[in-house]
Structure 1
Amino acid sequence: MAQLFFVIISFILIPVLGKTKLKLSTILFISAGVLAVLSGIGTENIVDSVKNTVTGSSLNTILTILMVSVLGGVMKQYKILDKIVDTIQQIVSSKKTILMIIPALIGVLIIPGGALLSAPFIYNLGEEMNIPAPKRAAINLVFRHVAMFLLPYSTGLLVITASIPEISMVRLVLLNLAFVVPMFVVGYFLYIKDIKAPKNTNRKDIGSNVMKLVMYTSPIYICVIINAVTGLPFYITMAASVLAVYFLSDRNDFIKNVIKSINWQTVLMVAAILLLKELILKMDDLLLIFSGMFDKNGSIFSALLIFLVSSVFFGIITGNQTAALAIILPMVSQLDVSMDMLHVYTYFSFASAFIGYFFSPIHLCQAFTIQLMNVTTLELYKEYRWYLLSSLIVLFASAFLFNTIFA
């Protein structure tokens, strides 16, 4: 029980220290240091945890995050995103559809506070269509996070495969569709359906613009295709995506901009999260407590409730999905269940951690969006109320459906 208390203490430090000028990566390393000292796992286990963080699947994850930051940086630097948005506006006839597509597409760039990139587009479109500011904020945030569930190189999915190597990325993404698709539909009915919008009059040269869109979005999907065909790690295949940006850009100071685009804070943040995960895996008493809770509460509902409360709690207090996963995934990996159900519990934990992170008041995307849209947190949460309820219903319904199929 003491180790559980120490985990909670070390993670509560994150929002407390977040009020200082310290970077999130530094705060997470401090949290890891406090946990290492308080947990009583010993020097040898601490050294092993550090070694495991910089080797094997964890190192692959860190290198991939580094390459993702480079890709996002150069796509932004050379205005590839602006070209994508302009091309979409020349293809899609419905402005309501554009409202959903733009945040979702920009969301493929896995960078902290990335909603700030799509917010200006949604703000301007919202002005044209007289959409209230709180609803504009909700639209930007709801549709911007779809990619986190589906892109194989999104931070959360990479942390999962580093933490539980047995998990199939493809299979998990397919399970994630059971959450993403219904929630996309819910988002449409809550925030888009009733908007009165004129037809988009900017459409022209549909065929040539579709080809342009395929070309401009190639840096996003080419690494996934190469990975699927060759099996090479993402940190290698993403070099092809960066090369695609090179050919799409004016190539001015390209190498300099590649180096400048490396987001060391994000890389260090993921390293700290993986270190926290390794430390927790060494905490036998904590894992025994969880195993005992799981054994005692034999029903799937009780097990899912434990995962939900834990994931949502740590997601809310950290404002970071992957930080919450650092605590939950070691516990999931210890479950004595079939491979099918291991995927189901991982899916449920991933979505639960997302819910906690998404609705957290210290969620960076939310903070940036409400600032740009000039709305209050309370106004945004009023827009969220039915979306939150729907997300919980969809999550539990999908988990019970999977349990019926796989159990």
Structure 2
Amino acid sequence: MDSVFWIVIAAMVLIVVLLRFKVIIGLSILSGGLLIWLFESRSLEMLWKAMQQTLVMPRTWDLVLCLYFVMCLEVELRKSGSLHGMVVTMRNIFSSNKVTLAFMPAFLGLLPSLGGARFSAPIVKEASEGIAVDDEEKSAINLWFRHIFEFSNPLMPGVILACGIANVTISDLITHVGWVTILCFVLGWIVLIRPLRITDPEKATNTTNDHSIDWKSLFLAFGPIIASFVLIVAFNMQAALAMGLVVVGFIPLYFLFKRQIPILSVFTESLDKKLFFNVICILYFIQLLTVIGTLDEIVNAFNHSSLPAPAIVACLAFIFGVMTGMGQGYIAIVMPIVALMAPGNIILVGITMVYGLVGQMITPTHLCILVTVDYFKSSLWKTIGKCAWLSFLTALIFSVWTYFRYYN
């Protein structure tokens, strides 16, 4: 095995050990990055260069501000009663909060936003009332259903980037792997939702056959989502700016609908310094690996191996999914290799998308896992374990189907 893999494994072991000893996620991951730096570079200039690039990259501040405004919006929805009214209406429509638990994170997953699981988390918490579900199960439900459209949503930056690099059309990609989105929903429902036991039918089900709809709550709950969607997609606005405008713009509407909210607390309660610190540490970790060339070394090692192309692509996508925790991260690294290996090969593109997501769903560098665990105060490794089981099933079924469909 190439030496770079032993270094990366040692770094991952260090991260796991530190997390086990309750060291905060940001410092644990950054410590792993510094261990790689000690073996690979030891140049203080590289440390400083990576820090500079992290702090000046638009992505960093767009993400931090976007997370902040998402939390502001959550406070608005919660304190105005719109969140509760929306969940009650969904229960009246579908008769059970179980449907809301799966549907709402999936629906919000259509909105392209890094760390967007923080938006759907309070809805999952509200919808879980009256259902026997622990914090780790809430976290896993929020994470899993939030990401089922990761490779079949034409609005996702990662999907657009992948198709542009690999020279395939978005419609071809969706046709090829769109069924995996359905598979992920079905697996999530069977494993995470179906076993849940309803303990309080009054809260979790529609026991009165009341099919009334709280239109005000639906408007105030879905309005910000739709407005953000339009601003980001139709007007190509940065996510942070779009969310900021939505947060401020909807304040007078809450008062107009007689849903008064404490404006000052909206902006003060959302200042989670620990979360922001963790996010910057993770982004610095990714940039450090880029600057010192670790990611390039891993790619070169696989390029010189004798493995078949599908195996190389799957391994690379999985590894960089784990290391970057970001769809755009593994796509930006692996998809150019796919484009060189076999231009326009939709099979390899699909393998990259699915295995990259599998890696992304089992790593503490994934920002959605960070914000979800932080919100529910759940166990990181128990949450990852539940997602890992679902990810394994997804990869297994996808691999078997791909092998017999294209390589047998």
Q: Who is 2:63 aligned against?
A: 61
Give TM-score, length-normalised by structure 1.
0.69
User: What do you get for the CA RMSD once the two structures are aligned?
Assistant: 5.0
Contact 1:167–1:343 (8 Å) recurs in 2? yes
Is residue 306 from structure 1 mapped to residue 289 from structure 2 by the alignment?
no
Q: Who is 2:263 aligned against?
A: 254
Q: Who is 2:25 aligned against?
A: 24
Amino acid at match of 1:393: L
Is residue 221 from structure 1 mapped to residue 226 from structure 2 by the alignment?
yes
For residues 398 and 77 of structure 1, the distance between their equivalents in structure 2, rounded to whole angstroms, comes to 47
For residues 33 and 392 of structure 1, the distance between their equivalents in structure 2, rounded to whole angstroms, comes to 31
Q: Who is 1:125 aligned against?
A: 131
Contact 2:104–2:123 (8 Å) recurs in 1? no
For residues 166 and 246 of structure 2, the distance between their equivalents in structure 1, rounded to whole angstroms, comes to 25
- Check 1:396–1:283 CA distance in 2 against 1; reply closer, same or farther (3 A cut): farther
In the TM superposition, what is the alpha-carbon distance from 1:225 to its structure 2 partner?
A: 0.9
Amino acid at match of 1:254: I
Q: Who is 2:394 aligned against?
A: 391
In the TM superposition, what is the alpha-carbon distance from 1:355 to its structure 2 partner?
A: 4.1
Alignment of 1:3-402 (within 5 A): 3-40=4-41, 42-59=43-60, 60-94=62-96, 96-101=98-103, 104=106, 110=116, 118-119=124-125, 121-122=127-128, 124-126=130-132, 141-142=140-141, 145-150=144-149, 171=170, 177-189=178-190, 200-204=206-210, 206=212, 208-209=213-214, 212-243=217-248, 245-246=250-251, 247-248=253-254, 250-284=259-293, 287-297=296-306, 299-307=308-316, 310=319, 314=322, 323=325, 328=330, 331-332=333-334, 335=337, 337=339, 338=343, 344=350, 346-357=352-363, 387=390, 390-396=393-399
Contact 2:106–2:148 (8 Å) recurs in 1? no
Q: Which moves more between the two structures, 66-75 or 45-54?
A: 66-75
How many residues align? The count is 377
For residues 370 and 258 of structure 1, the distance between their equivalents in structure 2, rounded to whole angstroms, comes to 22
What runs of 5+ residues in structure 2 fail to find an aligned partner? none
Amino acid at match of 1:69: M
- Check 1:329–1:48 CA distance in 2 against 1; reply closer, same or farther (3 A cut): farther
Question: Cα deviations across residues 2-38 of structure 1 (Å, max 9, x unaligned)?
Answer: 4433333333222222234543223333333333333
Question: Cα deviations across residues 221-250 of structure 1 (Å, max 9, x unaligned)?
Answer: 311111112111111111233135523364
Contact 1:65–1:266 (8 Å) recurs in 2? no
Contact 1:41–1:282 (8 Å) recurs in 2? no
Question: Cα deviations across residues 324-345 of structure 1 (Å, max 9, x unaligned)?
Answer: 8798567426625247768545
Q: Percent identity?
A: 13
For residues 327 and 385 of structure 1, the distance between their equivalents in structure 2, rounded to whole angstroms, comes to 20
For residues 285 and 328 of structure 2, the distance between their equivalents in structure 1, rounded to whole angstroms, comes to 6
For residues 225 and 330 of structure 1, the distance between their equivalents in structure 2, rounded to whole angstroms, comes to 26
DSSP 3-state at the match of 2:94: coil
Q: Which moves more between the two structures, 390-399 or 77-86?
A: 390-399
In the TM superposition, what is the alpha-carbon distance from 1:214 to its structure 2 partner?
A: 3.7
Give TM-score, length-normalised by structure 2.
0.69
DSSP 3-state at the match of 1:66: helix
Amino acid at match of 1:53: T
Contact 1:179–1:394 (8 Å) recurs in 2? no
DSSP 3-state at the match of 2:93: coil
DSSP 3-state at the match of 1:25: helix
For residues 190 and 328 of structure 1, the distance between their equivalents in structure 2, rounded to whole angstroms, comes to 27
For residues 204 and 167 of structure 1, the distance between their equivalents in structure 2, rounded to whole angstroms, comes to 51
For residues 158 and 263 of structure 1, the distance between their equivalents in structure 2, rounded to whole angstroms, comes to 26
In the TM superposition, what is the alpha-carbon distance from 1:183 to its structure 2 partner?
A: 1.6
In the TM superposition, what is the alpha-carbon distance from 1:85 to its structure 2 partner?
A: 0.9
In the TM superposition, what is the alpha-carbon distance from 1:40 to its structure 2 partner?
A: 0.8
Question: Cα deviations across residues 48-82 of structure 1 (Å, max 9, x unaligned)?
Answer: 32222123443333433333333334434444322
- Check 1:75–1:287 CA distance in 2 against 1; reply closer, same or farther (3 A cut): same
What runs of 5+ residues in structure 1 fail to find an aligned partner? 127-132, 316-321
For residues 358 and 99 of structure 2, the distance between their equivalents in structure 1, rounded to whole angstroms, comes to 28
- Check 1:331–1:73 CA distance in 2 against 1; reply closer, same or farther (3 A cut): same
- Check 1:239–1:166 CA distance in 2 against 1; reply closer, same or farther (3 A cut): farther
- Check 1:104–1:159 CA distance in 2 against 1; reply closer, same or farther (3 A cut): closer
